[in-house]
Every structure is written in C-alpha cells, then in structure tokens.
Amino acid sequence: MATIVNNSQTADESILRIHNPIMFVPDPDKGKPLDGFQAFFGLVGRDPQLEQNRKIVYALQEDGTAVPLDQPVIGSAGGVPMYNGSPVGLAVSGSYSLKILDKNGAQTYNIPEVAALNLQGFSGVIAEESTTVDGSLVLDFTEIEVTSASFYKSTDSLGTIFEGSYLKKDVDYVSNNTGQITLLQATAIGTVILGRQMDSTGQIVPVTEGSSALFVFEDIATAVAADLQSGDTLTINGGVAAQDKLGGAKYLTVLGQPETPDGENVINLSNGNQIQALENTFKLARYSEVTTVATSVAGALNLDLNQGNVFTTTLFENIGNINFVNLNPDSDLTTTISLEIIQDAATPRTVSFGGVIFSGGVIPTMSTGLGSTDDYVFKLRNGIAKGGVFGQDFS
C-alpha cells in the first residue's frame, strides 16, 4: 500500500510514483500467480464477458503504437498478460469493468468499475468515422470503439448534414461488439452513419442504464428538426446569434404534443413530440433587462412580447390603443410589462388605456409637460390586463 507523505500534495506525488505497467493477477486462494487467466474488459457496470458490452483493450508496443487485442486476454503461467509470446502492458480508454476467469472458465474476479482516464484513442483527438448504408443494417467500424461512441445519421441526400438526428442506443441500434452495430430501424440506402468516439460536443450517448442524454442546440430550428424522444433533456444556446432570446434555456422532451405551443416555453418538434421549458429557481446578485423601443402606427402602440418585457416609446401622435402582442397562450402564466412613455417635445399628446383595468377604476392621464416621462406597469394573466402607475412627470 502506498503511503501519502503530504496529503495536500497527493496529486503531485502520484505523478512521481513508479508504477508497474505489467498487469499481474494472483490466485486469491493459493498465494501464487493465476495460471492461464482469462481477462475481459467492458463498459462500466456491465458484464464484459458479453461481446456487446466490451471495450477495446490495447497492447502497448515498444514503438509507441497500440494494438487492439481479442478478448479474453490470456495470462501466462506467471499471471501476466501475453502478446506474441511476450509479456505486454495493457491499456483501455476510459473507465471500464473487469472480469477475470481461471483457465477452466470459473469466475475469479469481477470488478464493476475501474476508474481510468479517457485517452481519446491515444492521440488527444476525438476519433470519428462514418460509413454508408448499402442495404444491410449491419455496419462495421474500424477506427472507433462503438460500445462507447455516439452515432448520428445524415438528414440530406448528400449525407453531409447531421442536425441532431441522433441514434439512440437499444432503440435505434445495438452494438454487436466493439466494432459493429446493427440498425434497428429501416434506413434508406445511401444514408451516412457518423460515429464519434467519446463525443465531446455535449451530445453524449448514455452507455449505462438509468442515464439520459443531454443535447445542446444552437437555435430553435435545429432543436425542432432533431429526433428527440420522451425524457431527453436539452438546452438551446440561442441569444444574440439566433435572436430568439433563449440563451441557456433548458427543456424536457415529452411524448406527443399535449400542451399549446408558444414557440418559447412550449415548442412542437417535427417528429410529433414536444419540448417544454423546465421551471428554474435562481438566486441573483443583480440582473438587467433589455429595453425595446416601440413606435406607434396609426394611433396604435403594439408591445410585442417576443421582443421582451420592458418598452419605451416617444409620442409623436395621440395613442388610441395599447395592444399586447404575442401573449403566452398558457392562461396560468403571469407576465409583467414595464412601459416608459416620453411626451412629445413640441406638442402634448394623449394616451388612451382602453382594455386595461386600473385600481379603483381611475384611468391615469398622460403628463402634458413637453418631453416629460411617465412610467407604467402592467400585469397580464388569463387575458386580463391590470395597470398601475410607477411614476409620472419625470421631467
């Protein structure tokens, strides 16, 4: 057992320690090497003896290359793994499960998880490989390890667009072994299937039971086109680039389209399912709201809630109607709106608040001072608009 000299420097010391790169397997009952052991390496928490659960185990060569080995890896009489008649160091990319049998096939060790670094194919680069469906639903891959990779199918006739059309493990495909998958859905000839080893983009395929996939999309359009399934969660980057003001919004996918879509909190997908915004609680030290400039047209001031909840307008004509546009159709939600009205600098204008209920039925009168400012607040719920005066005649 290693002794930690300085607990505060554990990570640094571990780098300096000498490790034996040769795996040694002892016989737990006889105090000697386990002669002719059979070792299987697989996905964490799964039985590595089953071929569909295996991970690739590599033999590390003197020239720095890594050679994939067949499983089981067989041990010598001295209890060490052998390759081409010589002892060899082994490597597995990422954490793995390990099962060891004796030479007669009896289980000796079974370790559900061995924590290890993801070596990204020993190159530091995400391994990627594609293949084209030629009529068979069985696809072979030679550059990636399919049991821990994610897969996407092309969505255009040229096989070059992969807009979130993600293949779900055990629903759209199964892994037969570390280099082969079988598609479970009918797939057109010419469709390109792209595999990414240990995908770092955020589109991670869960490889253990009980996991769920988290998807990241740049905008609403790409999310709508994706083949998301019930239970999938996602975020939409949105914001400035997409101009949808949804930067960081998080959603849950539900089966079918049970709620009325509003294009923001509830969005219908092209595959017949729906994504619904998740409720969040925040503790904020400070926050800012975008102020949208609104301009009246023919005596009507339209406040488009797709643009935000804070508005300012400068009068150049009398306002007969203030209309709230693109209200959320969910009657249970409440929307609060702030409106700053700046009086004409040359001629006093009037503002009508028809359709808005004010406390005590007293409808406010717009300040008449040239260039003066009035601030109003409106609360909308169940199709009813309630108004209040924040302050008037800020001149």
165 and 239 fall within a common domain? no
Is residue 132 one of the residues assigned to a domain? yes
Q: What is residue 118's predicted lDDT score, i.e. its pLDDT?
A: 62
Is residue 11 one of the residues assigned to a domain? no
Q: What is residue 198's predicted lDDT score, i.e. its pLDDT?
A: 63
Q: What is residue 213's predicted lDDT score, i.e. its pLDDT?
A: 59
Amino acid letter, residue 181: I
For residues 278 and 231, the answer to whether their CB atoms sit within 8 Å is no
Q: How far apart are CA 322 and CA 9, in angstroms?
A: 66
Q: What is residue 121's predicted lDDT score, i.e. its pLDDT?
A: 40
Is residue 376 one of the residues assigned to a domain? yes
* Strand bridging mode 192-197 / 128-132: antiparallel
Which domain-ending residue is among 243, 277, 311?
Answer: 277
Q: What is residue 150's predicted lDDT score, i.e. its pLDDT?
A: 85
Asked if residue 329 has a cis previous peptide bond (ω within 30° of 0), the answer is no
Is residue 203 one of the residues assigned to a domain? no
Q: Tell me which residue of 138, 133, 126 sits closest to 159, measured CA to CA.
A: 133
Residue 109 exposed, middle or buried by CB count within 10 Å (0-12, 13-18, 19+): middle
Q: What is residue 303's predicted lDDT score, i.e. its pLDDT?
A: 94
Q: How long a stretch of residues is the chain?
A: 395
Q: What is residue 60's predicted lDDT score, i.e. its pLDDT?
A: 86
256 and 317 fall within a common domain? no
For residues 74 and 37, the answer to whether their CB atoms sit within 8 Å is yes
Q: How far apart are CA 21 and CA 90, in angstroms?
A: 8
- DSSP summary character for residue 246: -
Is residue 387 one of the residues assigned to a domain? yes
133 and 108 fall within a common domain? no
Q: What is residue 212's predicted lDDT score, i.e. its pLDDT?
A: 55
Q: What is the model's pTM?
A: 0.46
113 and 133 fall within a common domain? no
Q: How far apart are CA 182 and CA 140, in angstroms?
A: 9
Is residue 285 one of the residues assigned to a domain? no
Count of domains observed in the chain? 4
Is residue 228 one of the residues assigned to a domain? yes
Helix (H, G, I), strand (E, B) or coil at 123: helix
- What does each C-alpha distance from 64 to 67, 89, 116 come to in angstroms? 10, 11, 19
Which domain-ending residue is among 90, 120, 150?
Answer: 120
185 and 261 fall within a common domain? no
110 and 130 fall within a common domain? no
CATH number of the domain bearing residue 26: 2.170.14.10
Q: In what order do the strands lie in the sheet with 180-183?
A: 138-140, 180-183, 173-177
Which domain-ending residue is among 228, 244, 277?
Answer: 277
Q: What is residue 18's predicted lDDT score, i.e. its pLDDT?
A: 67
111 and 133 fall within a common domain? no
Q: What is residue 236's predicted lDDT score, i.e. its pLDDT?
A: 84
26 and 76 fall within a common domain? yes
Phi and psi at residue 110, to the nearest 5°: -145, 110
246 and 312 fall within a common domain? no
Q: What is residue 1's predicted lDDT score, i.e. its pLDDT?
A: 33
Q: What is the DSSP string of 268-290?
A: E-TTS-EEEEPP-----S----P
Q: What's the domain range around 144?
A: 126-197
314 and 330 fall within a common domain? yes
Is residue 12 one of the residues assigned to a domain? no
84 and 151 fall within a common domain? no
- pLDDT under 70 in the chain at which residues? 1-19, 117-126, 163-164, 198-213, 239-245
115 and 133 fall within a common domain? no
Q: How far apart are CA 328 and CA 222, in angstroms?
A: 22
Q: What is residue 380's predicted lDDT score, i.e. its pLDDT?
A: 92
